[in-house]
Every structure is written in C-alpha cells, then in structure tokens.
Amino acid sequence: MSIRSYILFCCIALNICGQAQDSTSFRLVKTFRVEASDFNVDNLGNVYLLLINGQLKKVSANGDSLAVFNEVRRYGKVRYMDVSNPLKVLLYYSDYGTIVILDRFLNIRTTIDLRRLGLFQVKIIAQSYDNNIWIYDELESRVKRIGDDGKLIDQFNDFRMLFDSVPSPQYIVDQNKFLYLYDPVKGIYIFDYYGTFKSRIPLTQWTDFTVINTVIYGRDSFNLYSYEPGSLHLERFVLPKNMSGALRISIMPNNIYVLHQNGLKVYAYH
C-alpha cells in the first residue's frame, strides 16, 4: 500500500467510527417467492431471476412475467449478468469464455466466443457507456472495449506498467463518465474512459459492489456501506438479521434487493 493510500485508508477508518446507522432504515415492500441462484435489476425496476430450473425470467416490479430465456445452461454456468441497458442483456459464461447478448424479450441477438478472439483469461465484463462491452483481460492485464462482433475498439495501458501489484477485479462498473474496477483484496480503481488512472480507494472485502451516480456501494456480512470519492466519509448501515446469509444483495437508488434460497425480498431504505 502506498503512503497516499495508507493515509486515505486511515482517514476513512477514522470517519466511519461511531457512524453506523440503525437497521430500522429498511422497510419490506415486496416479496418474490421464487427459487433462484442469482438475479439482477435494471433501471426500470424489472427483475431478472436466474432460476434453479435453468431459466432466466424477467418480471416487472409488480411481479408480472415479461419474458423467459430457456437456454441458460447451454454454455455452462452464468458467471455474470449485466442488465444496465434493458434493451441489451449480457450473460457471461467465464468457463467457456462466451458472452450471450439478449434483447429486451430475452431472445438471443448474438454470441461472442472470446477464446476464438485470443482472449483466454477474461474474468469479468460490463456494458460500456456507448453500448459496447468492457472486458478485463487478465493475461495482458488490460481493460479492453469490444463491439458486439468481438472486435477490439480500444484498450487501456498495461496495468503491469501502472501498478506495482496488478489488481484482479471482480466487478467492473461504468457510471457517470468513469470506470470503476473493484478488487476485494486491493480496493477500488477509478479510471476515465480514456484509460487515465484517477485514484485508488483502499476499501476491501466487499461483495455486491456497485456505483450509483457518484456514490459507491458495497457490503460485507453485517453492514451495507456507501462512500462518495473525495468526501472521506464512509457511511455504514447495519443490515437487519433477516438479511444475513443472503445469496446476493443488489443496491438500487431507492431499494435494496435481498436474495435468499426461498425467495427475493425488496426493501426501501433511507
């Protein structure tokens, strides 16, 4: 850890002390009684449920069925699902290096075989600001942007030339003209769209990382966190006991979605 990162870490740690919010901030507003292994939520409030029977089901905020994709297991296990653009759903199968692109009705638009393109170690992908796709090539230690045809559009500088210890991001989030890479061991790396490195924030051991506007969110087993870069103010919200053991949590602007083995619950929070 650099001296600058260490100082930043100490400042954040000091600011968080004694600032935990009470868990009564969360109010249950909706329950989806489904058996799902994963899910995601788009910016229209539609929920995409990866059911244990192998279906991907799209439902409205009220629970009405909108579309179904029955070929989820065709390429193995879904590693990541990006629904940030409701008109273009991305499913990533990392074991086979395959991206499946669906339309809003969950029909297959196209597939991208990354291995045929010489990309053999891509851990994570994300929708880009211009409707293309971000990928992180671990073999070359580069962020790359590719089109729906798999062709390279541009790429960042080699991270081995930028950092003493190369990050291994588990999340990529394109938000508000910046690209956020999250490595649970090393923290948050922020870049602009041209690949210029802006900062590293040493907040580690989070899961379910996301960014809404300029605020960064994540959680651990007991707390939900929010942090706005530059503020040195990390807010911590104690998660209610009924959220413990969640398979996954998704944080949206007004709601928090909590997946358990017996269903998905939606809470309002303030």
Given a cut of 90, whether residue 148 has pLDDT beyond it is: yes
One of 3.40.1130, 1.20.1740, 1.10.287, 2.40.10 is the CATH number of 1-32+211-270, namely 2.40.10
Cα–Cα separations (whole angstroms), residue 117 to 36, 64, 84, 99, 137 = 32, 39, 25, 12, 12
Retrieve residue 59's tokens: 């439902």
Nearest to 266, CA basis, from 15, 93, 29, 10: 29
- pLDDT band with cut points at 50, 70 and 90 for residue 19: low
Lowest mean pLDDT among 116-120, 187-191, 247-251, 266-270: 266-270
Retrieve residue 216's tokens: 């960064």
CA distance 46 to 219: 22
- Residue 226: CB atoms within 10 A of its CB come to 17
- Chain-wide mean pLDDT for the chain? 91
Q: State residue 21's pLDDT score.
A: 55
How many Cα neighbours within 13 Å face the side chain of 113? 3
Contacts of residue 18, Cβ cutoff 8 Å, sequence gap at least 6: none
Q: Give me the mean pLDDT over the 110-117 stretch.
A: 96
Cα–Cα separations (whole angstroms), residue 132 to 7, 89, 153 = 37, 12, 9
- pLDDT band with cut points at 50, 70 and 90 for residue 14: very low
Q: Which segments of 202-254 are extended strands (E)? A: 207-212, 215-219, 223-227, 234-238, 248-251
Q: What is the DSSP letter of 16?
A: H
**Domain locations along the chain:** 1-32+211-270
Taking the model in full, what pTM does it have?
0.90
